[in-house]
Amino acid sequence: MSPEPSGSRRMYLYEHRSEPLLPRHLFLRRLLNHAGVAAAVLAASLGIGVLGYRFLEGFSWIDAVLNASMILGGMGEINPLLTDAGKLFASAYAIFAGAVFLAVSAILVAPVAHRLLHRLHLEDAQAGAPSVKQRNHRSVPARRRPAARRRS
């Protein structure tokens, strides 16, 4: 896939390695956009937990928020669980919270990691280092197979 010509709408979230590094103010906007997505994922996850504790375990709204936020934050439950449905929900929600932690971490780290790798690639290109494509496709002499042994 080749990038779309300039002037048309971009389909890619990040700039291609052949494009220049994004200006700082646009990079900060990208960071804010990623932080907004991460906050939305956390808010939706907290909402799932609050509703689960409220309707499956019968907690008050404030206790449901407290338990859901403690599980989502990795601290553990506060109130004891009394129903089997509540215990099953808490188990599934704890696993879900671990996945949410990994996803939110990736969302927040992605723009910084991309910028770092993009900058390193640009520095390599400016220094005259061969690109990854050039390094992988240079001619390398084939290895010779050892001669078959003759049986006497």
Pick the more confident residue, 151 or 115: 115
Residue 71: is its pLDDT beyond 60? yes
Whether 41 and 104 have beta carbons less than 8 Å apart is answered as: yes
- 84 is a domain residue: yes
Distances (CA, A) of 37 to 8, 30, 74: 25, 11, 20
- Please state, as a whole number, how many other Cβ atoms lie within 10 Å of the Cβ of residue 65: 17
DSSP strands (E only) in 11-54:
none
Averaged pLDDT of the chain: 83
Quickly state the pLDDT bin for 72 (edges 50, 70, 90). Answer: very high
Q: What is the mean pLDDT of residues 63-80?
A: 94
Residue 9: is its pLDDT beyond 60? no
> How many domains, in total, are found in the chain?
1
- 131 is a domain residue: no
Residue 10: is its pLDDT beyond 60? no
Q: How confident is the model over 24-36, as pLDDT tens digits? A: 999 999 999 999 9
CATH number of the structural domain spanning residue 91: 1.10.287.70
Pick the more confident residue, 15 or 10: 15
- 73 is a domain residue: yes
- Annotate 115-146 with DSSP letters as a single string: HHHHHHHHHHHHHTPPPHHHHHHS--PPPPPP
- 135 is a domain residue: no
Domain range enclosing 61? 24-125
Residue 11: is its pLDDT beyond 50? yes
- 96 is a domain residue: yes
Q: What is the mean pLDDT of residues 82-93?
A: 95
